Structure 1
Amino acid sequence: MRRAVNRANNVEDLRRIARRRLPKAVFDVIDGGSGDDVTLRGNRAAFETLWLRPRPLEDVSRVDLRTTVLGEDVSMPLLLDPCSFARMCHPQAELAVARAAGRAGTIYTIAGGASEKPEDIAKVAIGSLWYQLYMMPDQGMNEALLDRVEAAGYRTLVVTVDTPIKPYRELDLRNRIELPLQITPRLIAAGVSRPLWARDFLMGNSGSSNFSLTQAKKAYDNFADAIMHMKSVTRTDVAWLRERWKGPLVIKGVLRGEEVPELLALGVDGIVVSNHGGRNLDGVPPTLQVLPEIVEAADGRAEVLLDGGVRRGTDVVKALALGARAVLTGRPYMFALAAGGEPGVDRALELLRNEIHRAMAFCGVTSIAQIDASLVHRPEPALTPLAV
């Protein structure tokens, strides 16, 4: 497995390995979107139709990828998105991702629907962790969770606001997969064609971990508890969280510039331009397309981040050129985790770091601060001649 991921040359290579290793239904949970996948495809198309403008005649013998995000030093402007129930990819789940992110010198946002408790992930992490909150109807449960997250040392809270109800994902329905992903005879049957995955998912890799079937069920329960008790996040909730949470507060799931002034007035420190990777409402605009609108509305009063469709280091440079402070990515490290466990995540982050470095060098910039709108060009759509 390690040999295969070491031969991977990009995220798509890791995706292909993950596709071979995972049962189709499980792979589709990670890879798929909602509806007709219009937004899922649009996220990628937005990057593919924005061109970089190389700038020669510059000394790029030294290129520095380091920057800061909400006051924290990171080795590159690429952070890891919250992705629920990573155990479907590998028994080490979020523990493996946290260690790999720490080695890479970047930030990992732990999903509210993680398969591990936030305290357990914090114990093994060697870098900075943020926590993604799905608010619950019971305010006492929210209070208790925030107390736990604070005690575990999480500094930044990321509140997802774009998932007021459970998404309707037709691909999962066709595969007869229920979300939250349940350990059912049907799922076990789906793993028959992937016996190594089934062994790891049910019992853990006995050669390198202590997982058992009981712990697999416990991991699922942690995930289901968060996913099944979500509520709509209101302005009142954001105001309460701002008063309750003393560290940086980030709102994830913003696509409209007119919402930004109100969020700023509520004391938000960061905004993630996100459409949930095309996994919620299909037909919403690509995040890269609306990024400039959000950046303009924030006007430097909050840091703006972006996720959705990021697969290459060139994508990171394009997003920064349009004003993002940094980007987050989720599916690439989930593919990598499925492809090769912790070494797979190491490989994905190494590949993306190298791509960011090369993109910056070819564009003639040697620091993140030098990346600006002059590095990108969006061509005007070609005009079709009128028939006469």
Structure 2
Amino acid sequence: MKLADCQNVNDIRALAARRAHKMVFDYIDGGAGDEQTLHENTGAFAHYDLLFRALAGVDTVETGSHILGHRVAQPFFCSPAAGNRLFHTQGERAVARAAAERGLVYCLSTLSSVSIEDIAALRKTAPQFFQLYVWKDRVLVKEMLDRAKAAGFAALILTVDFPVTGKRERDVRNGFAIPPKLGLKQVFEALKSPAWSLDYLTGPAIRYANLSADTPAMSLADFVAQQLHAGFAWKDAEWLLGEWNGPAIIKGVVRTDDAVKAVETGFDAVMVSNHGGRQLDRSPAPVSLLPEMAAALDGRAELILDGGARRGVDILTALALGAQAVGFARPYLYGLAAAGHKGVARMLDILTDEFRRDMTLIGARSVSELEPGLVRRRPETG
């Protein structure tokens, strides 16, 4: 199948599996433990029926929305993901450019393989957000924040569900590391993925671009254990918000009491997320939490779904259940691994077309007309 023939995210996923090194594809595609949460994140959307309006007279659709006060072309965006140049030599540049071309928010990971400043240079009309993990070294944290502010990033995303790395067994079996450590197994798999291998061999060295150039290659689990601060707590989040002094999102919340605490601490938005099923297996699917989260926040902060969306109807469902926006990473990473910028662009265009079509079919002229009455939780059977 060619990229132009892809009709959905799963088609693009198949192209990514064919082009990418097994180590790379499994890193994108895999989850923690038995991968129960990984599969439920997506499968949970099927538990909802959409009650479309008859004779709604929807001849035009407006998909524009706002995220933290910023006007965007679509109510979905590219969530942060680490080390994109490992998937394709164009890396984060390809994703940021495709998002900017379409008026979408792009979120850069702390552990990106392209620098804060290089990504900021690709900004157009839509804003860019900066995601932060919490390092043990507060000097490094402040340096990251200062660089992001100086580069014009509009909001901070603090990821809080990553005190240690989840048990990602695919990565362990494959010897995954950034930069890659190429043993016999990796070389054998590289021979089966010539397009990826050519990119890797002819492109610049892959490293965490926002860190020191001498950061060694190691497994993600070892890197996190050495560098990230598992003891980070709410009082530390208050310090961080004071240092940032701007719009901030907390990412990695599945409990309503934590969501309320986040608002009281000063966060402007809550991303309901379990890190894409890559951390604690058997965590609840984010979409299933939206009604209770929306009720708990009661408009005091924006609510963002992160995890599991693969179709326009998934995005529509999340918005109807109370989310203001939907973030995702795997879909665009599949596109990146399949064909670089062209793959990301194709994926975003597919979701945009599906979302517009589904809004017409459900009978909503604008995002503001997506409300809970359009969604029904399917009764449990058996």
TM-score range, shorter chain: over 0.9
Distance 2:87 2:117 in 1: 21
Equivalence for 1:141: 140
Distance 1:308 1:266 in 2: 24
What's the offset of the Cα at 1:180? Answer: 4.2
Cα deviation, 1:65-96, whole Å, max 9, x if unaligned, reads 00001001110111111011111211010011
Preserved CA contact (<8 Å) 2:114 2:209: yes
What's the offset of the Cα at 1:193? Answer: 1.0
Distance 2:189 2:207 in 1: 17
Equivalence for 2:266: 267
Equivalence for 2:220: none
Of residues 60, 68, 77 in structure 2, which corresponds to 1:62?
A: 60
Distance 1:162 1:179 in 2: 20
Structure 1, 5-14 or 321-330: larger mean CA deviation:
5-14
Cα deviation, 1:125-156, whole Å, max 9, x if unaligned, reads 33421000011111111111111111111110
Task: State how 1:41-190 maps to structure 2 within 5 Å.
Answer: 41-126=39-124, 127-175=126-174, 177-180=175-178, 182-186=180-184, 187-190=186-189
Letter aligned with residue 250 of structure 1? I
SS at match of 2:129: strand
What's the offset of the Cα at 1:184? Answer: 2.4
Q: Evaluate the alpha carbon distance shift between residue 180 and residue 381 of structure 1 in structure 2; reply closer, same or farther with a 3 A threshold.
A: same
Equivalence for 1:12: 10
Letter aligned with residue 161 of structure 1? V
Task: State how 1:18-33 maps to structure 2 within 5 Å.
Answer: 18-33=16-31
Letter aligned with residue 364 of structure 2? V
Distance 1:142 1:350 in 2: 35
Equivalence for 2:235: 236
Any unmatched runs of 5+ in structure 2? 217-222
Q: CA RMSD in A?
A: 1.8
What's the offset of the Cα at 1:178? Answer: 3.2
SS at match of 1:191: helix
Matched, 1:308 2:307: yes
What's the offset of the Cα at 1:246? Answer: 2.1
Q: Kindly tell me the number of residue pairs found equivalent between the two proteins.
A: 371
Preserved CA contact (<8 Å) 2:19 2:196: yes
Equivalence for 2:330: 331
What's the offset of the Cα at 1:174? Answer: 2.3
Structure 1, 38-47 or 289-298: larger mean CA deviation:
289-298
Preserved CA contact (<8 Å) 1:311 1:332: yes
Any unmatched runs of 5+ in structure 1? 205-211
SS at match of 1:101: helix
Could you list the structure 1 runs, at least 4 aligned residues long, displaced by more than 6 angstroms after superposition. Answer: 220-226
What's the offset of the Cα at 1:241? Answer: 1.6
Letter aligned with residue 7 of structure 1? D
SS at match of 2:252: strand
Letter aligned with residue 282 of structure 1? D
Distance 1:9 1:222 in 2: 41
Equivalence for 2:353: 354
Matched, 1:216 2:199: no
Distance 1:253 1:32 in 2: 18
Distance 2:3 2:312 in 1: 18
Distance 1:318 1:218 in 2: 36
Structure 1, 366-375 or 215-224: larger mean CA deviation:
215-224
Distance 1:341 1:101 in 2: 13
Distance 1:54 1:308 in 2: 24
Letter aligned with residue 37 of structure 1? E
What's the offset of the Cα at 1:216? Answer: 2.8
Letter aligned with residue 12 of structure 2? L
Cα deviation, 1:316-374, whole Å, max 9, x if unaligned, reads 00000110000001000000011111111111111101111111111111100000011
Equivalence for 1:207: none
